[in-house]
Amino acid sequence: MPKLVLIFSVLLRILFLPEYPATPNATLPADKPLQASDIVYVHAPNGLTLRKTAAKDGAKVALVPFDGSPLTVLSPPEPGVLYTAETIGAFAVKGGWVNVKTKTGQEGYLFEGYLSRYKPLNTEKIDGEVSMIDAFYRTISPVKGKRTTLPKKEGTIERYQYVYTDGARFEEQQYEGGITQFLELPKEKFTMPEVLVLFRALWFQKEKTTATFDAAKQRLTLDSEGGYSQLIIQPKGNLWSLQFSTAD
């Protein structure tokens, strides 16, 4: 992309970046268990199977899509009864079975591990010049202040950041051949499995990925099947550090 065109597109992004209201659940702690009447959302790109009983082989009621439809919790998972849906080395996505009601009135059980109180981003309404990562986090916590231009690093064309009121921070570095984005999240608001589920679904959508887990560094690395996009999740003090990279 020519430099003048890139600069112009960045200016448009600054001027017309829409505001996304924060969700009412944005201040809940990461370890707060689900309760009856909570609203949750599916964060599995292929949807989740609503089952008649609280078991992976329970009779299928319906497929609940990854479309931002609200689900009302009727009863939380049974304490201490966990199902492991996914493992990446020593890392696992675990959870119980949540009794929910869909917006159409269907009732049944969904696996807790791919549910979140945070609503998915409607990517169809996002301008192509706006980062989906930044747009999504604005639905969780508003930005604090204005966009800040950062000193360029070697090879960068543009580098800037936004800071959010809950202490999270987003940074984008633009290169001739792609972009790298960083998002730092407060640990008290998210568990590592939730970070994986939320941002994998957002970043890769339905694209297949391969993943590895470095237990010593507590670092998850996900790569797209084509090798053009990557997501790295790891702890950084009292924050979760996420790095999103993509090549043109």
Return the pLDDT at 15: 35
Return the pLDDT at 40: 97
Q: Which residues of 185-204 are buried (b: 16+ CB within 10 A; e: fewer)?
A: bbbebbebbbbbbbbbbbbb
Return the pLDDT at 80: 87
Note down pLDDT in tens along the chain; length 248 residues: 443 333 334 333 433 344 444 444 444 566 688 999 999 999 999 999 999 999 999 999 999 999 999 999 999 999 989 999 999 999 999 999 999 999 999 999 999 999 999 999 987 777 666 799 999 999 999 999 999 999 999 899 999 999 999 999 999 999 999 999 999 999 999 999 999 999 999 999 999 999 999 999 999 999 999 889 999 999 999 999 999 999 97
> What fold is seen in the domain 39-116?
SH3 type barrels. (2.30.30)
Return the pLDDT at 156: 94
pTM: 0.86
